[in-house]
Structure 1
């Protein structure tokens, strides 16, 4: 129901002047719509805001916003040190400079649950576009490496019902997700505990690596991709999903902001399609291709050619 600025300020116990300023800003960002009736301006949420900023929406970005505001953006106060040192600063923000990104993600139950929610929420918006950009129907036995709750795996089997997906992730992630009933329940999705660097990677037709590479250093990327290539069946493939750095004007700010945030919080970075292609080729993959989805994440495929 549309409300006047007086109604809104009274309900939220704010000053009228402050609320007027906030409402104007929100309207300029297309989060609100206004309508003037009998000299009074009434406001209501825009369709975009209802879609992305309400907890009841399947495409809600509230976990994403909470995660970045509480975990990632506070690291920005260490930007000077990040630039000077060329190292991640998330440990300093959380009280121990020796902590890395994943140490922080699992530093408490609340943090771990928030991390699971934010990793899943993006696939409600981008998942279908990512898994259908290429025809992946020939790959029946699929492993989603670092697949968290199985949200992207669910999108995959919805598009390719003849396939099955095993989500392979850290024991603490799967345990936390199971404890808080976050794991996707589907007969075609299973979960396997393991460390990508310490444990063997099972053989499969195809591997999905979504938002995995960008948190890793160059050396770790090469090590992991070579390990995946060795495990991959001949004729198989790997699909890497990332926020790629591009030249397109409307995507420069998003990708480069994400690029800087990765430098603040992780050992990794966002990469150009060329940089990612070289990583895949150095690992042994061939016929590397990228498809643009028009959204924040794009898939790149590399194939292990039959000999």
Structure 2
């Protein structure tokens, strides 16, 4: 089925340069640089692991002071810190080092704007898994450790894994929520259900923008204590409720609007269609299903989303990114009367399915 086309990544009005190749691949030097780009990544991830940015947020420090605070050996400290300056996340002022404005805002754990949750998860799980990409390409199997590569089971068994996952989700949906709040006509709705909504961070942010709404989060039962704690911290416990369940085994809670954000890419195409069908049953007449993910174009040119799709290969049993067209077709097959697609951000696309009244 053909639908009006959502703009491709190349057509989006964005100055983000990470949508293209990381370096020139037309020369030996460029190829070597491309093949060692993992070094840049690990320098940043190690800095986050050492809590360097939160340390410098308190005050600028000299190299000996910073080394002391972080427990760095003198052999690598200067090169490490100088590399961070070269990468643009630190600034040097004489002998003093400080965070760049962006690092200070987004990589200091003490700030509400902290966006390092995804990077923490990348450091502990994705970076090791990517060393086995060749195996994944040959076998189609996930490459994470434990529980036969089942990250959902890992989170059920380990509060550490769960907390890290929830922090990652918070950092991602904190960036998406303001855009989702503006991309849909929430004024005509009174409630929504966030399917796979983790500890309710997205719901809280949407309600902050649209105070007339109430919300329900639907996620696995072991997420409930983390949800309760988070809602109490945000003061939203009276307006957002939690329902525990497995969306493959249990019916989804009904609501005027159902939201499925960064959920479908974890599963195979057949499972996605099944989930959309269940969502159709749960959406009230006249309501809507909102799906957002890092969708890829039919002729992908977006390196960022292709890398996320390969992340799914490495950490799930059937997941990948998918196209806007595929998502619209699944919604139509499930019964939605009309679909529309929008660019939600530099990386995320939004597909809306409207159910007849």
Q: Does the aligned pair in 1 maintain the 2:200–2:227 contact within 8 Å?
A: no
Q: Residues 185 and 252 of structure 1: is their aligned pair in 2 closer, same or farther, counting only changes over 3 Å?
A: same
Say which SS state the counterpart of residue 23 (structure 1) adopts. helix
- Cα deviation for residue 71 of structure 1 reads 2.2
1:155 to 205, 214, 233: 205
- Cα deviation for residue 13 of structure 1 reads 5.2
Residue of structure 1 equivalent to 2:132: 78
1:77-100 Cα shifts (integer Å, max 9, x gaps): 33222111222233xx22x42x52
Are 1:277 and 2:328 matched, yes or no?
yes
Name the Cα RMSD after superposition.
Answer: 2.4
- Cα deviation for residue 17 of structure 1 reads 6.0
Residue of structure 2 equivalent to 1:142: 192
Unaligned residue ranges in structure 2 (runs of 5+): 1-58
Residue of structure 2 equivalent to 1:61: 115
Say which SS state the counterpart of residue 98 (structure 2) adopts. strand
1:22-74 Cα shifts (integer Å, max 9, x gaps): 223212222111234xxxx4321111011111111112133322222112322
Residue of structure 2 equivalent to 1:114: 164
Q: Does the aligned pair in 2 maintain the 1:126–1:295 contact within 8 Å?
A: no
Residue of structure 2 equivalent to 1:182: 230
Instruction: Write the distance in 2 (CA, Å) between the matches of 1:134 and 1:18.
Output: 50
Using the size of structure 2 for normalisation, the TM-score is: 0.75
Instruction: Write the distance in 1 (CA, Å) between the matches of 2:251 and 2:67.
Output: 58
Q: Does the aligned pair in 1 maintain the 2:176–2:345 contact within 8 Å?
A: no
- Number of aligned residue pairs: give it: 295
- Cα deviation for residue 182 of structure 1 reads 2.8
1:223-261 Cα shifts (integer Å, max 9, x gaps): 110111122222110011211224899x82221111100
Q: Does the aligned pair in 2 maintain the 1:144–1:209 contact within 8 Å?
A: yes
Q: Residues 275 and 28 of structure 1: is their aligned pair in 2 closer, same or farther, counting only changes over 3 Å?
A: farther
Q: Residues 60 and 248 of structure 1: is their aligned pair in 2 closer, same or farther, counting only changes over 3 Å?
A: farther
Instruction: Write the distance in 2 (CA, Å) between the matches of 1:287 and 1:175.
Output: 38
Residue of structure 2 equivalent to 1:194: 245
Q: How does 1:22-101 map onto structure 2 within 5 Å?
A: 22-36=80-94, 41-90=95-144, 93-94=145-146, 96-97=147-148, 99-101=149-151
Q: Does the aligned pair in 1 maintain the 2:295–2:323 contact within 8 Å?
A: yes
Relative to total residues, which structure has the larger helix share, 1 or 2?
A: 2
Unaligned residue ranges in structure 1 (runs of 5+): none
Using the size of structure 1 for normalisation, the TM-score is: 0.87
Q: Residues 13 and 220 of structure 1: is their aligned pair in 2 closer, same or farther, counting only changes over 3 Å?
A: closer
1:136-179 Cα shifts (integer Å, max 9, x gaps): 2212121111111111111221222222111111111114544x
Are 1:252 and 2:302 matched, yes or no?
yes
Instruction: Write the distance in 2 (CA, Å) between the matches of 1:258 and 1:296.
Output: 10
Q: Higher mean Cα deviation, 228-237 or 57-66?
A: 57-66
1:130 to 180, 186, 206: 180
Instruction: Write the distance in 1 (CA, Å) between the matches of 2:86 and 2:137.
Output: 33
2:278 to 227, 233, 257: 227
Instruction: Write the distance in 2 (CA, Å) between the matches of 1:27 and 1:131.
Output: 36
